[in-house]
Structure 1
Amino acid sequence: MTRPAPMELILVRHAPAAHGGRLCGRTDVPAERPGEAVLAPLRALLSDARTVVSSPALRCTATAGWLFPDRAVPVDARLWEQDFGTMDGAPFAALPDLGPLDRQSLTAHAYPGGEDFTAMAARAGAALGTLADSVRAGGGPAVVVAHAGTVRAGLALALGDAAAALAFEVAPLSATRLRVLDAGYSVVAVNWSGAAA
């Protein structure tokens, strides 16, 4: 994998969450620390980052600390995972089957008291847009350590389509690289972990 160019925004999903078999959007659970053999390739890829920002979630701040042990990483609350409302913290086995929904309907689906993906993508997208503006002004490469939903929000920005972004699975502790263009984005890589490097 080539090193990031200055004009990149890199979205890293947190390390595996210690969720205990439950849906965790706003439920704040720790991350399971991977070994150095897993962290080292990603840490090397991200070593040129000029800007690093994290979701406030414990699983994200811990991951940011493992990847950037010599830096204080600020947090941005707009980078939180989607709010799953009354289903947040529910066992996976208790979740309704959303498989029959097409992607467009899925973007508009919200559990009671929660937010739909369109709202989440707009919230996180605003934070990512601010970082992209910083990259355009010479502040990159920039790294965001956050959630699968946040990564998909970045893909929604790049694709111009929130529903299309839901087609992507986002692996824990993987990097998705977006090239920041004068007007828009292009996708450099999705789900890179260095495992095959």
Structure 2
Amino acid sequence: MEIRLIRHTRPAIPKGICYGQTDLLPADSFLEEVSTIKAQLVDAPSPMAIFTSPLLRCSRLAEALFPHHAITADPRLMELDFGQWEMKAWEEIPSAEITPWMEDFVRIPCTGGESYQQLYDRCVDFIVALRKQQLKNVTIITHAGPIRAIHAHFNDIALKDSFSLKVEYGEVLKLEDWKV
């Protein structure tokens, strides 16, 4: 099986803002970024299935890349729920809240949100269900958090080390011959 993980394009939000599950529109550079992604997919086999996070920055990209395909939105592919930190500048989040999380983001949830372990668990649940479908080529449009979690699962990487994978906006990551 071959899976292509695609990170959404740049969202319409200033840098430095925490926005996990906030439903943001793509930035004005959307069409240019779509063209760049399409160029990366030119030699890829046509996907048997396309899945996307239901958030607009992913679902709009899925529709732009695959306008004549059935696309399935799945909430398990959403970005980390940052809870009360959503739409706050990172520097405005009280240190009493953010410091413990930064020291153990895998196990400690954001205030009113979820931990990286919780995100990982829902992404693995999605992958296990996907594997049962026995599809050959799958495309998943999602966020950096789920991409890192899925990559960590496939490559047996500790979650605390999974942020070493840098995932740019519009990046395509290919996974092959994976086992669940």
Tell me the TM-score normalised to structure 1 length. 0.78
Write the letter of the residue equivalent to 1:142: V
**Pair 1:159 & 2:158 matched:** no
CA drift of 1:53 comes to 0.5
Partner of 1:73: 71
**Pair 1:30 & 2:25 matched:** yes
**Pair 1:8 & 2:7 matched:** no
**Bigger relative CO (Cα 8 Å, ≥ 6 apart):** 2
Superposition pairs of residues 174-185 of structure 1, within 5 angstroms: 174-181=171-178, 183-184=179-180
What is the alpha-carbon distance in structure 1 between the residues aligned to residue 74 and residue 44 of structure 2? 19
CA drift of 1:141 comes to 0.8
**Pair 1:18 & 2:12 matched:** yes
CA drift of 1:108 comes to 1.7
Partner of 2:142: 146
| Distance change in 2, residues 1:58/1:29 (3 Å) | same
Partner of 1:85: 83
What is the alpha-carbon distance in structure 2 between the residues aligned to residue 45 and residue 172 of structure 1? 20
CA drift of 1:42 comes to 2.9
Higher deviation after alignment, 70-79 or 28-37: 28-37
Q: Percent identical across equivalent pairs?
A: 23
Say what the alpha-carbon RMSD is for the aligned residues: 2.3
Residue pair 2:18, 2:86 contacting (<8 A) in 1 also:
yes
CA drift of 1:37 comes to 4.1
Partner of 1:131: 130
The DSSP-based 3-state class of the residue aligned with 1:59 is: helix
The DSSP-based 3-state class of the residue aligned with 1:142 is: strand
The DSSP-based 3-state class of the residue aligned with 2:84 is: helix
Residue pair 2:5, 2:174 contacting (<8 A) in 1 also:
yes
What is the alpha-carbon distance in structure 2 between the residues aligned to residue 141 and residue 65 of structure 1? 18
What is the alpha-carbon distance in structure 2 between the residues aligned to residue 83 and residue 180 of structure 1? 30
Unaligned residue ranges in structure 1 (runs of 5+): 1-6, 185-197
What is the alpha-carbon distance in structure 1 between the residues aligned to residue 72 and residue 45 of structure 2? 17
Whichever structure has more helix as a proportion of its residues is 2
| Structure 1 outlier segments of 4+, above 6 Å | none
